[in-house]
């Protein structure tokens, strides 16, 4: 086994993914006119599984009575993933949601960002979580 031992894999020895700052939009600026970076984090596979399950629905198989397949709503999934990874601003803040006249963190995110900013944000979120992202696939995904 190459002389490695399991201690490197122990939770206390594993390097934790760091929160990163990302300018999701140049339209949100501080008092000096500089864009305010958002803080985003990587989630755990367990958190990801919960989000994925919440975005999965049973769909009937055409021509097969009482038979279903599982289908993930990827637009919903990506929106919920982005919310779960967003540390700042607090997308669950009622006052922030009220200022945009929306309810729900994922709706707020889509309302705050332009379509292009939203696609870029989703791309950054997926990269941070270790997904290899093909930009054209993502663009096509969001358009649908």
Q: What is the pLDDT of residues 106-142, one digit of tens each?
A: 999 999 999 999 999 999 999 988 887 564 555 565 5
Is-contact 81 103, C-beta < 8 A?
no
Characterize the bridge pairing of strands 86-88 and 38-40. Answer: antiparallel
Is-contact 45 93, C-beta < 8 A?
no
Average of pLDDT values for 44-54?
92
Tell me what pLDDT residue 105 has: 95
Closest CA to 125 of 66, 90, 59, 81: 81
For the chain, the structural domain boundaries read 16-143
Tell me what pLDDT residue 132 has: 74
16-143 classified as CATH 3.30.2220.30: yes
C-alpha 40/C-alpha 56 separation (Å) is 24
Average of pLDDT values for 33-57?
93
* Dihedral (Cα; 41, 46, 51, 57), 10-degree rounding: 160
Long-range interactions of 33-40: CB distance < 8 A, separation 24+: 38/86, 38/87, 38/88, 38/89, 38/121, 39/86, 39/87, 39/88, 40/85, 40/86, 40/87, 40/124, 40/125, 40/128
Q: How confident is the model at residue 62 (pLDDT cuts 50, 70, 90)?
A: confident
C-alpha 117/C-alpha 110 separation (Å) is 9
pLDDT digits (tens, 9 = 90+) for 67-95: 888 888 989 999 999 999 999 999 999 99
């Amino acid at each position: 086994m190459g002389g490695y031992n399991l201690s490197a894999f122990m939770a206390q020895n594993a390097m934790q993914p760091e929160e990163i700052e990302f300018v999701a939009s140049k339209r949100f600026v501080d008092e000096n006119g500089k864009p305010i970076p958002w803080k985003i984090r990587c989630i755990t596979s367990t958190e990801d599984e919960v989000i994925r399950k919440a975005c999965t629905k049973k769909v009937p198989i055409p021509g097969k009575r009482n038979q279903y397949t599982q289908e993930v709503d990827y637009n919903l999934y990506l929106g919920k993933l982005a919310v779960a990874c967003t540390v700042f601003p607090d997308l669950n803040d009622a006052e922030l949601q009220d200022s945009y006249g929306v309810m729900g963190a994922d709706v707020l995110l889509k309302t705050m960002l332009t379509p292009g900013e939203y696609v870029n944000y989703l791309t950054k979120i997926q990269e941070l979580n270790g997904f290899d992202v093909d930009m054209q696939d993502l663009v096509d995904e969001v358009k649908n």
